[in-house]
Amino acid sequence: MDVGAYLSRIGYQGPTEPTLETLRGLHRCHLFSVPFESLSVHCGEPITLALPLLYDKIVCRGHGGFCYENNGLFLWLLRALGFRVVGLAGRVRNRFTGRLGPPRDHLVLLARLGGRGFLCDVGFGDGFLEPLRLEPGLEQPQEGGTFRLGLAGGVWALERLRAPGEEGRVLYTFTLEERELGDFAAMCCYHQNAPSSIFACKSFCSLPQPGGGRLTYMGWRLIATRGGARTETPLQPPEIPALLQRTFGAQLSGTLVPKDQDIQPPPEGEEMGPAPPQ
């Protein structure tokens, strides 16, 4: 871990002491600099959960990644800076099927500061921009929306609220059982190959935008969202690599094969959770 190179990669120039201020700054900088994407899957580059490989891919070669990559590397950075932080396993609510994914579907982080827990996640996509206090029922408004954590039977649920005080929409669930990066190896393989995984079914690359909104490449489209408005621009395959480089700073590792297939229901026998509350 070359901490200086990592901080340069995400454009962070603030203090590095293990404080909440530092954690917030690092979290935001990572989200705005490192895309949430599935490009390697569609460029024929297998993803292996080894920290030196993830560091080379994201810091040295300027790529992004999905949850195991972005959060796995961010966990390494935080520990190198002296934070008390662990990995946790989550199950994402698939926005296409409305159901929870298999166990260890998602890697999320928990940092401990001053006796309090703070949820961190730089590998989810359209989620929270700053760490959330691990406190059930607390509404936490921020630039990316208003979020709330629920707790029932030892299972936490992250919700995005339509408006403060109103009903929330579950984004994912998780427990506080500590996990290591290697615990997600099987699910990393699943997400690269399963027809019920968004990463296998869709080539995409996404970043939040300063001042609000999000810019996303998916398949043969560029999608911009801001303030509830959505615009789509069709793309021709030859122009996609240059657009990815120009718009997201994404360096392709090979020839991209665009893909935007429907996500299939999981095969019978694959463990899936019930549909979360809408």
Identity of residue 20:
L
Within-domain flag for 27: yes
Q: Which of 28, 10, 27, 32 is nearest to 206 (CA)?
A: 32
Give residue 145's pLDDT: 86
Contact 47, 192 (CB under 8 A): yes
Within-domain flag for 194: no
- Would you say residue 278 has pLDDT above 60? no
Within-domain flag for 117: yes
Task: Give the separation between CA 24 and CA 132, rounded to whole angstroms.
Answer: 10
> Containing domain of residue 55, as a range?
11-185
Count structural domains, the chain.
1
Most confident of 91-100, 106-115, 209-218: 106-115
Q: How confident is the model over 41-51, as pLDDT tens digits?
A: 999 999 999 99
Per cent of the chain over pLDDT 90 is 80
Decide: helix, strand or coil at residue 153.
coil
DSSP string, 83-129: -EEEEEEEEEB-TTT-SB--TT-EEEEEEEETTEEEEE-SSSSSS-S
Q: How confident is the model over 249-265, as pLDDT tens digits?
A: 988 888 999 999 998 87
The residue-averaged pLDDT of 111-133 equals: 95
The residue-averaged pLDDT of 186-193 equals: 95
Task: Give the separation between CA 61 and CA 56, rounded to whole angstroms.
Answer: 6
- Would you say residue 74 has pLDDT above 50? yes
- Would you say residue 39 has pLDDT above 70? yes
- Kindly indicate the confidence band of residue 94, based on its pLDDT and cuts at 50, 70 and 90: confident
Which CATH number goes with the domain that contains 27?
3.30.2140.20
The residue-averaged pLDDT of 53-66 equals: 95
Q: How confident is the model over 60-72, as pLDDT tens digits?
A: 999 999 999 999 9
- Would you say residue 9 has pLDDT above 90? yes
Residue 113: strand pairing partners: 116
Chain-centre distance for alpha carbon 55:
16
Residue 157, C-beta contacts closer than 8 angstroms, at least 6 positions apart: 149, 150, 151, 170, 172, 173, 276
Instruction: Tell me the torsion sign for CA atoms 184, 185, 189, 190.
Output: negative
Give residue 53's pLDDT: 95
Supply the residues annotated as catalytic.
Answer: 67, 106, 121
Task: Give the separation between CA 57 and CA 69, rounded to whole angstroms.
Answer: 9
Within-domain flag for 174: yes
The residue-averaged pLDDT of 199-203 equals: 96
Contact 169, 184 (CB under 8 A): no
Contact 220, 258 (CB under 8 A): yes
Within-domain flag for 135: yes
Q: How confident is the model over 104-116, as pLDDT tens digits?
A: 999 999 999 999 9
- Region of residue 129 (phi > 0: left; psi between -120 and 50: alpha; otherwise: beta): alpha
Q: What's the whole-model pTM score? A: 0.92
- Kindly indicate the confidence band of residue 270, based on its pLDDT and cuts at 50, 70 and 90: low
Per cent of the chain over pLDDT 70 is 94
Within-domain flag for 153: yes
Give residue 108's pLDDT: 98
- Kindly indicate the confidence band of residue 266, based on its pLDDT and cuts at 50, 70 and 90: low
Within-domain flag for 201: no
- Would you say residue 273 has pLDDT above 80? no
Q: For residue 242, what are its two tokens?
A: 């240059």
Residue 35, C-beta contacts closer than 8 angstroms, at least 6 positions apart: 63, 64, 205, 206, 207, 248, 249, 250
Q: Which of 151-160, 169-178, 229-238, 263-272 has the lowest mean pLDDT?
A: 263-272
Task: Give the separation between CA 266 and CA 261, rounded to whole angstroms.
Answer: 15
Sequence length of the chain is 278
Mean of the per-residue pLDDT values for the chain? 92
Within-domain flag for 177: yes
